[in-house]
Amino acid sequence: MTLAASQQLFWYFSYPTPLAPGGDRLA
């Protein structure tokens, strides 16, 4: 897993909202 993917997963699970960094990309 790349660093970018790790950061996106971190933000997604920490703040699973449309406004969260990366959350809108994975939601």
Predicted TM-score (pTM) above 0.75: no
| Predicted local confidence at residue 5, as pLDDT | 78
- Counts for the chain of helices (H) and strands (E), in that order: 2, 0
| Predicted local confidence at residue 27, as pLDDT | 45
Residues 6+ apart with CB under 8 A from 5: none
Per residue in 1-27, pLDDT (tens digit) is: 688 877 777 776 666 555 555 555 544
| Phi and psi, residue 16, nearest 5° | -75, 65
Q: Which one-letter DSSP state was computed for residue 16?
A: -
Alpha-carbon distance of 16 to 13, in angstroms, equals 6
